[in-house]
Amino acid sequence: MHTPEVTVNPTATPADAVTAVAPDTVKPEKSKPAARNVTSTNKAETSRQVIFLDREMSQIAFNWRVLAQAEDRSIPLLERLKYLCIVGSNLDEFFEVRVASLLAQNTIDGELVQHPAFQFMLKRVSTECHQLAQKQYELLNQEILPQLSRKGIHLLRHSERNEAQRAWVKQYFEREVRPLLTPIGLDPAHPFPQVVNKSLNFIVSLAGKDAFGRGTGIAIVKAPRVLPRVIKLPDELSEKGASFCLLSSIIHSHIEDLFNGREVLSYSQFRVTRDSDLWVDEEEVKNLRQALQGELQTRQFGAAVRLEVAKNCPEDLAKFLLEQFSLSPDRLYPVDGPVNMVRLSELIDHVKQPNLRFPPFSPKAISKYHHADIFTLLRKQDILLHHPFQPFQTVIDFIRSAAQDPNVVAIKQTIYRTGMNSDLMESLITAARLGKEVTVVVELMARFDEEANINWADKLQRAGAQVVYGVVGLKTHAKLALVIRREDGGHLRHYAHLGTGNYHPSTTRFYTDFGLLTAHPGIAAEVNEVFIHLTGLNKPKKLDYLWLAPFALQPQIIKAIRNEARIAREGRPGRIIAKMNALLDESVIRALYAASADGVKIDLIVRGACALRPGVPGLSENIRVRSVIGRFLEHSRIYYFRNDLAHDVYLASADWMNRNLFRRIEVAFPVLEKSLKKRVISEGLDPYLKDNVNAWVLDSEGHYERKKARSKQASFCAQQYLMQQLGSLSERNEE
């Protein structure tokens, strides 16, 4: 059903040079360890475990680094709260996908495999996640909320509300909440109800008899999803600043009103996280879209993988819930606050105090592109865009111009994530209605964006566009757009956009990505070949410029790495710098280890999970790994190879992961103009290697330690530098 990349990687190194560090020995300025000890009797497996860090633990370590942003008192308060919400969202997905996948792969006839290594792995994941959640709520309750209160932003519990506030909350409950509640008393006719993934619910223990004289003792109350989770009280009820309360608190304080004639003994909010990976038998289904629509309806009720309850939830109620969801006790998470911390992002949206946020930032309009016809400009030079420091609007204008231009005969584009509202998609619909040949490759299996993509596919087809769904069994993750224009003399010229990020109007403001607009005949023609491959399912032609997965991307990466190793062996400098979201592919890692042994200097900027062990004598002593966590999510993929001063620079949609290299359609593309190569290096690589504010350095044991400016060394933040160099950053004095 699932095909996760699961590695049980103990911590050991040659001559026992590296040992695991238990969670409680990690220093405050270090991210939690990504390595662990497991005894293996297989020599080949032991050797493999020596040189690779564990994926799951490395992914959890990434969330410790995000949590460190919430701890950072130099960051504005609402931004710190946002980082707490991001950790919550990341943990949700980690359980929905990674933990669920591990459990599914290690279950036989509904029973977990009792293999010691697997049991140890689950225990370690559970321990780390419990510690992470505990720290998350400690920060919320001991720092973030008290400091917000001092700034006039009050998130009030029932005990903290005065009489006037309680009266208003009571009215709100009766008017807005109670009519939408449906308590379910459990009995043989009313068994435990279906509980939607990540929904807010309450379990209630009752005394006495019901209206029919029966002693039903348990009831379930589902919180309506249509109601906001953060409710603002009227201004006149807030003496200093603004007051808010949570929907969960409102239901808590009036839950007895739902059970007239019964005594409420105890109650607790709870939330269950379920397996949310969609699965369809792609070899059997005749219509992937219809099959996927059916799966979307059942996603909310996948196998349970985590249960969150209030910290004061009675033991008997927690045990009852665990039994209902078939969960073991180690997957119970008692929390001191709302069971869904992600919902506190609504509080951030309510508050209007600018001093509690990052200074406003706007990408500067690129003056030389502003009034020029984009196709005329592209015939003269390529355009390199660095988002969000430069506006994504240029890409939207490129597609919009193509849609309106009578000389454009065809537009082709891949869509992985684009959101529910998109000017770019509307332009494609306009182009189709104007009679242009519009082909859109929509990825239906883009996790958590499936519904939006299906909706756009329907709209595009109704407008007359040709919509295809890529290659069965492979996600189309490449970010490509192609415009074909009939020009002077009647010949067809190709214009292309290739990017490292999604065509999504929201993420382009918060994710760092590169995009290349080009009329280079070779590159643009090969983009067309990729589209022909995707729609016709033909074997792709040999490509001279693009590296295409699953056919050539991994071999080309390894070839480039080995070329640097050859150069180093011949006595000349070998140099590799690569930036990506994750590094997990073992073949690529082994090639990097071999290059390091040959003397190649290697710097890797890996935001998330990394299985490579840097700095191990005799294995990776020439490799350094760092992760940068800042205001924007680092998302660009850049591959740099010195290649005897040729300075080969590739931008890509692909991380160095097995899934990207073999189970997706991915494209890496070269930056050919020297001036643009220099820009990629000077904007996308060098600042991040210099960063001593938001950078974390990975050691050979799997620990991340925050980089700090040495004495007399100036602090340098890559993202701040790029905002000042490329964008328009407001300056203000923080309170």
Per the annotation, binding residues for ATP are 90, 511, 607, 635
Nearest to 250 by CA among 144, 379, 338, 320: 338
Measured over the CA atoms of residue 580, residue 586, residue 591 and residue 594, the dihedral's sign is positive
Per DSSP bridges, beta strands 304-310 and 332-335 are: parallel
Q: Collapse the DSSP code of 485 into the 3-class scheme (helix H, G, I; strand E, B; otherwise coil) and give the result.
A: strand
* CA–CA separation, 560 and 729 (whole Å): 38
What are the residues whose beta carbons fall under 8 Å from the beta carbon of 640, sequence distance 6 or more? 575, 576, 577, 578, 647, 648, 649, 650, 680, 681, 685
Residues belonging to the binding site for Mg(2+) are 417, 447
Residue type, 461: Q
Nearest to 55 by CA among 554, 578, 586: 586
190 in active site: no
* CA–CA separation, 94 and 661 (whole Å): 21
Is the backbone of residue 29 left (phi > 0), alpha (psi -120 to 50) or beta? alpha
Residue type, 652: A
What are the residues whose beta carbons fall under 8 Å from the beta carbon of 318, sequence distance 6 or more? 268, 307, 309, 332, 334
Nearest to 456 by CA among 510, 399, 414: 414
* CA–CA separation, 399 and 391 (whole Å): 14
Q: In the structure, how many helices (H) and strands (E) does the chain have?
A: 23, 32
CB 700 within 8 A of CB 615: yes
Catalytic entry in 154, 254, 387, 477:
477
Q: Collapse the DSSP code of 195 into the 3-class scheme (helix H, G, I; strand E, B; otherwise coil) and give the result.
A: coil
Nearest to 482 by CA among 598, 382, 399: 399
What are the residues whose beta carbons fall under 8 Å from the beta carbon of 107, sequence distance 6 or more? 113
With b meaning 16 or more CB within 10 Å and e meaning fewer, what string describes 26-35? beeebbbbbb
Catalytic positions are 477
